[in-house]
Structure 1
Amino acid sequence: MAIIEYNTKKGIKKIINKIKQLETIERKKIIKAISEARDKGDLSENSEYDAAKEAQKILELKIFNLKLKLSNTRLIEISKISTSQVSIFTKVKIKNIDNGNYQNYTLVPESESNIKKNKISINSPIAIGLIGKKIGDIISIKLPNNKIINLKLIKIKI
């Protein structure tokens, strides 16, 4: 069963552009490498040819996976997202109850996550714990290292 992913127009365009880049530029490079390796003679002991063919398989798999992802992506209008509860593309302010620290995050699709910009994947433990929660809710989240953190949801915005 395919996993439906929600994304913005910008995110969808990014996937489309990546597919185009792989299908045109990268595919041409690999075809050229295969051709050059083939011109060197006996293919049975031609490591350059084998490497180029392997690169071709990897590239085609990447293209296939991106097209599959695109076919399972649904457009979401950020302006229509409610701030009454946490969902994808909402920005949240949370307080770590254990140490008093505050943190701001934006919940985004996996492909857009960037911890340096405080954009966390919707599939991350923190995001999973926050989805559907409302301002004032207390959430206990088990991290991959088995540590449990206690958070309070302070703010939700777009």
Structure 2
Amino acid sequence: MDKKTILTSAGLKKYQEELEDLKVNRRHEIAEKIKEAREQGDLSENAEYDAAKDEQRDIEARIEELEALLKNVEVVDEGDVGTDKISVGCQVKILDIDEDEEMDLSIVGSSEANSLQNRISNESPLGRALLGRSKDEVVDVETPAGVFQYKVLDIKKVS
């Protein structure tokens, strides 16, 4: 059985829109590119045709990937997300005790994680350690680089 993909409703919407765009717009665009390249004649030495076919293969692979992801999706109901305990769909402010540095993080499913946007996976060491914790709790996070301590300063629903 395939693993469930946990998504926020915003993440679900983003993936659904991407899939729709790929199926409706990008497929049509690439079909036009292939048609134009074919009209140029000899396909054996036609770089535009080869590039268009490669792009078509990439688009079809991404469509397949998104369909598989969305087939086994579990959407986090924002109505069920509370601010008393950390769960997927929460935004948390934590204090790195060792570095005396505050961080704002959103806890999301692994497919929505993006460290550049401070969106961490519920499956990451920090994400797993924070799940179920309350405000003012100190959390020990075991990583390959050692054990780090964080204090939960605030819990909010992702806006």
Q: What are the ranges of 5 or more consecutive residues in structure 1 without an aligned counterpart?
A: none
CA deviation vs aligned residue, 1:76-97 (integer Å, no higher than 9, x gap): 2111124443210112221111
SS at match of 2:67: helix
Aligned to 2:48: 48
Give the partner amino acid of 2:127. A
- Alpha-carbon distance between aligned partners in 1 of 2:73 and 2:102, rounded to the nearest angstrom: 32
* 1:152 is the counterpart of 2:155: no
- Alpha-carbon distance between aligned partners in 1 of 2:101 and 2:76, rounded to the nearest angstrom: 32
The more displaced of 87-96 and 101-110 is 101-110
Give the partner amino acid of 2:54. E
Aligned to 1:119: 119
Report the count of equivalent residues: 157
The more displaced of 78-87 and 117-126 is 117-126
CA deviation vs aligned residue, 1:113-146 (integer Å, no higher than 9, x gap): 45565433334432133123333433233557x2
SS at match of 1:24: helix
- Alpha-carbon distance between aligned partners in 1 of 2:117 and 2:45, rounded to the nearest angstrom: 48
Give the partner amino acid of 2:154. K
Percentage identity across paired residues of the two chains: 33
Aligned to 2:81: 81
Aligned to 1:66: 66
Shift of 1:153: 2.1
- Alpha-carbon distance between aligned partners in 2 of 1:103 and 1:9, rounded to the nearest angstrom: 24
Question: What TM-score do you get using the length of structure 1 for normalisation?
Answer: 0.83
Q: What are the ranges of 5 or more consecutive residues in structure 2 without an aligned counterpart?
A: none
The more displaced of 59-68 and 9-18 is 9-18
